[in-house]
Amino acid sequence: MTTTAPAAPLTFDDVRRDPGRFRVLTGDRPTGRLHLGHYFGTVHNRVRLQDVGVELLVLIADYQVLTDRDVAERPAEHAEEIVLDYLAAGVDPSRATIFAHSAVPALNQLLLPFLSLVSVAELGRNPTVKDEIAHSRQSSVSGLMFTYPAHQAADILFCKANLVPVGQDQLPHLELTRTVARRFNSRYAEIFPEPEALLSAAPLLLGVDGAKMSKSRGNAIALAATADETAALIRGAKTDALRHITYDPAGRPEVSNLVLLAALCLDRDPYEVAGEIGGRGAAALKAVVTEAVNERLAPLRERRALHARDRDHVRRVLREGNERASAIADTTLTEVRAAMNMVY
C-alpha cells in the first residue's frame, strides 16, 4: 500500500479567494466548555471561514469522548454548553450545521467499510493516539481508542468535506482520512475528495501553568468564564524569576505563553507586546493579559448569556443540524452501497 507526502497546507487567503469551492468540517469532544485554546486553535478560524462564505459543518464528537473513559458524563448537557459556546463565538446556525455523532446513523455506518481500508499497523503507529493512550486514565486501551481515527475519517468524508481546520495534533488523523478516501476511490468508485488541512496561524497556546491547556488540569480559561474568574486564573499563572518581560517561547515558556495570550487577544505581535511591558515585570504583564482577555471575550460572553436564556432555541439548533447532517449522510451511504455493490 502506498502513502503520499502530505499536501502543503492551504492558507486562509487561498480559501478566501474562492470560498464556494470549500466545504469545511471540524469538531470537538463534548467533555466540557470550550476554552481559549479551542478558540484560538480552531473555533475562531471556523467563524472566519463561515463569514467569507464557506459552507461549515461543526461536529459534537460524542462517541469520541468514549475513547479514554468508560462512560461519557452527561453528554447531552455538555453538548448544549458547546452549542452555546459555538453560538457565542459567532457560528451562525442559519448558515452552518451543528450536529452530533450519535444522531447521524449513516455517518457511523461508514466506519465499517472504512476500517476495511486501513491496516492494524497503520492504526497502531498514529502518534496522537499513542500520546492519548499514554495519558489515558483507563487501565486498558479500548477498541474505540485504537480505531477512532477511522471514525474521524467518516466524520470528514460523510459530507465530502474538502477542508479541515485543525491543530497540529490532528494532522495524523487527517492523513489517515486522505488514505481512506484514496483507497475507497481506487477500490470501488471515485466518491470522496481528499480533504486538506487548514492549520491555525496561531502558535500553540498553553494553560496558565505552562502545561497543555486542558479543562481537567484546571489551567484553562473557558470562553464562558466570568471576568473575575479569568482574573483569578491569570493572577495565579506561573511566571519566572526574571523581572524583564521578553517573548522567548523556548527559553521562557510560561511568561511567553502569557505574552502570547495577550497578543492573540489584541491581534498584535507578541514581541511588541513583551517589549512594551519590559521592565515593569510580571504583575504588569498579568494586568495586560487580564484586560486583553476580558475585552476580547466580552462580546462573546454577552452573546452566550443571551442565548443561554433560551434553551429551547439551543436544543432546536442541534436538532435541526442533526437532521441536515443525516440527510447528507444518507445520500453518501447510498452512493457507498452502490459503489460496493451492496444494494438489495
From edge to edge, which strands make up the β-sheet containing 23-28? Answer: 97-100, 55-60, 23-28, 163-166, 196-199
23, 29, 78, 296: which one binds ligand TRP (CB under 6 A):
29
- Name the burial class of residue 321, with classes exposed (0-12), middle (13-18) and buried (19+) by CB atoms within 10 angstroms of its CB: buried
User: Binding to ligand TRP (CB under 6 A): which residues in 62-91?
Assistant: 64
Which amino acid does the sequence have at 294? N
24, 27, 108, 254: which one binds ligand TRP (CB under 6 A):
27
Taking the least distance from each CB to ligand TRP, the nearer of 80 and 155 is 155
54, 88, 129, 164: which one binds ligand TRP (CB under 6 A):
164
62, 155, 175, 196: which one binds ligand TRP (CB under 6 A):
155
Residue 232 CB neighbours (<10 A): 12
Taking the least distance from each CB to ligand TRP, the nearer of 43 and 208 is 43
Interface segment toward ligand TRP; rule CB under 6 A; list 136-144, 148-156, 285-293, 298-306: 148-156
Backbone angles phi, psi at 197, to 5 degrees: -85, 145
List the one residue out of 251, 250, 273 whose CA is nearest residue 260: 273
Residue 331 host element (H or E)? helix 311-339
Interface segment toward ligand TRP; rule CB under 6 A; list 87-95, 115-123, 151-159, 185-193: 151-159
User: Is 37 among the residues that bind ligand TRP (CB under 6 A)?
Assistant: no
Beta-bridge mates of residue 25? 57
Taking the least distance from each CB to ligand TRP, the nearer of 170 and 294 is 170
Taking the least distance from each CB to ligand TRP, the nearer of 50 and 256 is 50
Q: What does the alpha-carbon distance between residue 284 and residue 287 come to, in Å, rounded to a whole number?
A: 5
Interface segment toward ligand TRP; rule CB under 6 A; list 13-21, 58-66, 237-245, 253-261: 58-66
CA-to-CA dists, residue 222 to 67, 77, 191, 301, angstroms: 23, 16, 39, 10
Strands (DSSP E) contained in 265-312 are: none
Taking the least distance from each CB to ligand TRP, the nearer of 222 and 274 is 222
Q: How many residues bind ligand TRP (CB under 6 A)?
A: 14
User: Is 170 among the residues that bind ligand TRP (CB under 6 A)?
Assistant: yes
User: Is 45 among the residues that bind ligand TRP (CB under 6 A)?
Assistant: no
Taking the least distance from each CB to ligand TRP, the nearer of 28 and 85 is 28
Nearest-approach distance from CB 296 to ligand TRP, in angstroms: 22
User: Binding to ligand TRP (CB under 6 A): which residues in 120-139?
Assistant: none
22, 26, 31, 208: which one binds ligand TRP (CB under 6 A):
26
Interface segment toward ligand TRP; rule CB under 6 A; list 113-121, 136-144, 152-160, 252-260: 152-160
Taking the least distance from each CB to ligand TRP, the nearer of 59 and 261 is 59
Backbone angles phi, psi at 209, to 5 degrees: -100, 5
User: Is 176 among the residues that bind ligand TRP (CB under 6 A)?
Assistant: no
Taking the least distance from each CB to ligand TRP, the nearer of 101 and 286 is 101
Residue 233 host element (H or E)? helix 227-235
State the cell numbers at 68. 479514554
22, 24, 28, 336: which one binds ligand TRP (CB under 6 A):
28
Residue in the block written with cell 446513523: 105
43, 49, 56, 59: which one binds ligand TRP (CB under 6 A):
59
State the cell numbers at 316. 432546536
Long-range contacts of 298-305 (CB under 8 A, 24+ apart): 298/227, 300/88, 300/89, 300/90, 300/223, 301/88, 301/223, 301/224, 301/226, 301/227, 303/87, 303/88, 303/90, 304/84, 304/85, 304/87, 304/88, 304/223, 304/224
Q: Check: CB of residue 24 under 8 Å from CB of residue 72.
A: no
Give the residues lining the site for ligand TRP (CB under 6 A): 25-29, 59, 61, 64, 152, 155-156, 164, 166, 170
